[in-house]
Amino acid sequence: MHGTMLAAVFEDEGRLAVREVPIPVVRGPHDVLIKIEACGVCGTDIRFLAVPPVIQARKGVILGHEYVGQVVEVGTDVLQFQPGDRVAVIPDLPCGRCQFCAEGRPNLCERMVSIGGDIDGGFAHYALAPARALYPISAELPAEEGAFVELLSCVLGGVQKAALLPGEDVVILGAGPAGLVYLKVLKTAGAGRVIMVEVSPWRIEFARRMGADEVVNPQKEDLRGAVRAITGKGAHVVVDAVGSQLTAAMSVARKGGRIIVFGEDHKAECTIRPQDIQGQELRILGSFIGIHLFPKAVKMLESGVVRFQDLITHRLSLTDLPAGIAELAAGHGAKGVCFPWLS
C-alpha cells in the first residue's frame, strides 16, 4: 500500500504533532501491516509528553501502544495471520536472549523494545508490527473494549501477585485508568469491600459511579483511620496504582497483607520503617507489565465477564488527540481512546 496517512508523532519535549507521514511498507518477512481501529491513551503516553519527560520516548516516533486493528498485509514468513484478521498488539518486545528472558521473566528483559516508545505505534491510520507482537482477537470484540487489553494484561500481572481470596478487603490508591481497571477486576474476582483513595474531586465522583464501595480523600480525612473504620484490621490487598504511595499503602494494609506496587513514578521516594514490614509480615510486591497474560486478558474481554467501555471519557480523533491527552493529564477524565478513522 502506498500514500500517506495521519499520525501523532512525538517531536520533542511535550510536543505531539499530528501530521501526514508515509504509510509504512511491509519489507521484512515477519512484518504485518495493520489498519488501526482503536488505540488507548496510556499513563505512559502522558509521562512521555510531560515537561520534562518522566519517561523517555524516541524523538520522531509515532506514540500509541494499546491498539487493536485489522491485518492488511503480511510478510512472506507470516503464517499465523492473514489479511482481514483482527489483532491486538503486545507492545513490549523482549529480546529472547538475555538472562532474564532465558529465566522466563521476559518482562524484566534488559533489551526490551517498546512499540509506541522506541518504535512506531498506533496513533495513526496504519501501523507496522512484527508478527510476534500480535495476538488474535475475535471479529465480535468491540474495538473500544479491545483497546483495554494491554492495560488489563498489566493489571492481571498485579492481580496474580495479590492472590486475592473472595471476601478479602482491598484498598486501591489512585483512581486513574489503572486503578479503575483494578477496581473492576478485583470486584469480579470476589473482593469484599474495595476502598479507593483519591484526591481529585472529579475522580472521586467517577470512582463511586464505577462501583467503589468507598472513596477516601486523604487530604480531608485520616486515611489509616478511615480504612480501619471500614475494614476493622486494614486491607488484605493494597494496590499502589500511583507509584509514589508506598508509605500510605503500608499504613492501610492489614498484618500479613500484600501490597502491589504497580504505578510507575521514576522520581518518587518515600520513607519507610523496615520494622513495619518485618513485624507485620507485610509482603511488598512490585509488578511490571506481566508475563504471558495477553491470552487471559483477551479471553476476559471476549467473554464480557468484565466490561470497561464505561471508563472511556474521551473518544478522540487523531486531530483531537494532543488536546485530549492534555485534558487527561490534568485529571479531567478517566480513559481516553483514539479512533484514527474518526474525523
Among 109, 134, 181, 196, which residue sits at the site for Zn ion (rule: CB under 5 A)? 109
CA dist 314 to 77, 116, 242, 302, Å? 38, 20, 21, 22
CA–CA distance, 207 with 215 (Å, rounded to integer): 7
Cα 163 from chain centroid? 20
Q: Which is nearer to Zn ion, 49 or 235 (CB)?
A: 49
Asked if 55 interacts with Zn ion (CB under 5 A), we say no
Asked if 289 interacts with Zn ion (CB under 5 A), we say no
Integer-rounded Cα Rg, in Å, for the chain is 20
Among 33, 41, 42, 242, which residue sits at the site for Zn ion (rule: CB under 5 A)? 42
Site residues (CB under 5 A) for Zn ion, limited to 78-107: 94-95, 98, 101
Burial 95-129 (b: 16+ CB within 10 A, else e): eeebebbeeeebbbbeebebbbbbbbbbbbbbbbb
Q: Which is nearer to Zn ion, 32 or 109 (CB)?
A: 109
The contact pattern for Zn ion, residues 57-76, with x = CB under 5 A and - = no contact, is ---------x----------
Asked if 291 interacts with Zn ion (CB under 5 A), we say no
Q: Which is nearer to Zn ion, 218 or 336 (CB)?
A: 336
- Binding residues with Zn ion: total (CB under 5 A): 7
Q: Which is nearer to Zn ion, 216 or 301 (CB)?
A: 301
Rounded to the nearest whole angstrom, what is the least distance from the CB of residue 204 to Zn ion in the complex? Answer: 24
Per DSSP, the three-state class of 151 is helix
The strand pair at 335-338 and 312-316 is best described as parallel
CA atoms within 13 A on the CB side of 31: 14
Binding site residues, Zn ion, CB under 5 A? 42, 66, 94-95, 98, 101, 109
